[in-house]
Structure 1
Amino acid sequence: MDPSDYLLQTETKDFYKKLWSLQLPSKIAFTVWRISWDFIPSFVKLRKRRVVSNDRCPRCNSEVEGSLHVFRDCPTTAEVWHLLNFAWAMKNRSHTIWEWLTWVFKRGNNDQCFSFCYALWWIWFSRNQLIHERNIIPGRALVLNIQQYVSEQKGLNGLKTKAITCRSYRVQELTPTARIHFDAAYDSNTSSSASSLVGWDMRGVLIALKTIIHRNVPSPFAAEAHACLEGVKLGISLQIHSVKLMGDSKTVIKKCQETSTDKSVIGAIIRDIQQKKSDFQDLIFQYIHRSENLDAHRIAKIAFEKGETFYLRGEELDSQNLALVGYRPRNPD
């Protein structure tokens, strides 16, 4: 038996369970179902069946029109996703429509998946309008239609202007962003380090404190890179889809921001960090001055001196436990 079959069954079950729970109109749900099975009659499929001779995309005419091109890669589609604040969905470069859809559904909340399904339907509808009626619907007009239909379906009176103002073409952030500060304490004599992590939610409420002791660490840069990697892992374990990772090591932050392969001595750690980006809708790396990172710095020193690790979150973050680990609460600026 293929051991990957179980994973596929689980993904299939989770995807369709979420799709049916969205309570979409039948035409929307059925279209998304067809897309997931790649039953959409794109020009690539029609040419294989010898129905058409030209399989170029009718909207951009730059690439062949497969399912992924229609719903993700076409410039008009990309404009729609950006205006709808789904730029994070464009970061996943899966090679099949099924992998991409399940990835988006896994990382999006119900409201996002609801809008995502409406957008898929409108993208396919506008494509057919162009082919059969020569009616061109620009990306911004598509966004307005999608927002209007989503609002009506949810029983809202008119389109609210909180999400996207197409007139000014400004995209506002809808996804709550958590902040995780990281730092490291390092001792060259023992080649060991302590990573410290301080997590805040979007309201500035402390949500997690964590320290990890590392052995056989070759340099201070490696210590900071380990701390950054632990911050990424913390974001995954907390199931936060939009995270801003903040540290005072300019070198590590710069390497994490780059997309090229890092060949330095800490390249393996940086690659581990970059490979985990797909677990998030949005993962931002930001350099901050040491004065803005005092909490993480102080906790790293305490953990290193005691040689202890700890992980506090939720109800464990009471005054007694915070005192035991030497933490003095201070809201971030």
Structure 2
Amino acid sequence: MDPSSYLLQTEAKDFFRKLWDLQLPSKITITIWWIFWNYILTLVNLRYKRVATNVSCPRCGSGEEDNYHVFRQCPVFREIWSSLNLSWVTSYINQNIGEWLTWVFERSTKEQCWIVCCALWFIWSSWNQFVHERKIISDRDLVKKIRRYLAELEGIREKKLTSFTERTHNQSGETTSSTVQFDVAFNKRNYISASGLVVRDQMDLLKTLKMTLYENISSPFVAEAHAGLEAIKLVISMGLSSAVINRDSKIVIKKCQSQEIDRSVLRAIIRDIQGKITSF
């Protein structure tokens, strides 16, 4: 019943903050999230679900197929880390995959984090191709694919940066704002709500994530208003001079923009929002 029991520890928060900041394709980010929480369908995990009985590694046959074996112990893939000049990542002896990834990210540059994440995604993809399609990809070919994909991502990033630079030059001094987007969940049985906020800069790069829990919330509209106020506070705390705040609650938005005195149950929250808006 204690919401704080579900909060991430500081180390995990730092890891995920770095992961989101890498701006990797969603397919890779989601896969890393699965790997961190040991949600991938290894044979050991399938045995827990009583789907599989034989859990020996289908590639090397020298151990049980869990996430530790797939990504760090299997000799078929250990050579990949060496070829990518990252052989040190396999020296961590703790078998907890989340702690291993946190340890790797703490000691890696941003470019090395890119390589690690892409390598994990390609390793797991090639593993599935072998298990389900009996398609074998050699270590050398897999390393080539990883490096080629990293080059493509770097090219896309440079193209976006060039496009943004040209766009800002064409705006003749017009200033752009950061964007705040938020969403709300409301549990009418327990009168509890939660809001999630995302702040992105002018280049659409992720700057801040925040989640807030509220108790004794009487309606979804109150939850929306609280989340709007939280968004305003976050913008002020970040020291932003301007921001675009996006939300799909038309009722709350109209009340915030209205010059008339609000007389609904939201009036106190709306008054706080309107008062704080004037500061930026």
What TM-score does the superposition give when structure 2 sets the normalisation length? 0.52
CA deviations 1:49-102 (Å, max 9, x no partner) are 121121011111110001111111111221110000111111111121011110
Equivalence for 1:63: 63
Percent identical pairs in the alignment equals 52
Match in the other structure for 1:116: 116
- Counterpart amino acid of 2:59? R
| Distance (Å, rounded) in 2 between the aligned partners of 1:93 and 1:139 | 23
Instruction: Report the equivalent of 1:49.
Output: 49
What is residue 161 of structure 2 aligned with on the other side? none
Residues 124-168 of structure 1, C-alpha deviations (whole Å, 9 max, x = no match)? 000000011100111111101000000011008xxxxxxxxxxxx
Q: State the partner residue of 1:31.
A: 31
Q: Which runs of 5+ in 2 are unaligned?
A: 157-280
Map 1:295-306 to 2 at 5 A.
none
Higher helix content, 1 or 2: 2
Q: Which amino acid aligns with 1:66?
A: D
Partner of 1:76: 76
Q: Spell out the pairing of 1:156-171 with structure 2 (5 A cutoff).
A: none
1:131 counterpart = 2:131: yes
1:105 and 1:76 map into 2 onto residues whose CA distance is: 23
| Residue 90 (str. 1) matches residue 93 (str. 2) | no
CA shift at 1:8, angstroms? 6.3
- What value does the CA root-mean-square deviation take over the aligned residues? 1.8
Q: SS of the residue aligned with 2:144? A: helix
Q: Deviations over 1:304-326 (max 9, x none)?
A: xxxxxxxxxxxxxxxxxxxxxxx
Determine if the alignment matches structure 1 residue 149 to structure 2 residue 144: no
- Corresponding residue number in structure 1 for 2:14: 14
Q: Secondary structure at the match of 1:65?
A: coil
Aligned residue for 1:155, secondary structure, equals helix
Distance 2:18 2:119 in 1: 17
Q: Distance in 1 between matches of 2:69 and 2:77?
A: 8
Give the residue type in structure 1 aligned to 2:104. V
Separation of aligned partners in 1, 2:101 and 2:19: 11
Find the aligned partners of 1:27 and 1:114 in 2 and give their Cα distance.
14
Deviations 1:260-311 (CA, angstroms, capped at 9, x unpaired): xxxxxxxxxxxxxxxxxxxxxxxxxxxxxxxxxxxxxxxxxxxxxxxxxxxx
SS for the counterpart of 2:155 is coil
- TM-score, length of structure 1 as denominator length: 0.44
Q: Could you say which structure has the greater relative contact order, defined with CA pairs below 8 angstroms and 6 or more residues apart?
A: 1
- AA aligned to 2:145 is N
Aligned positions of 1:181-200 closer than 5 A: none
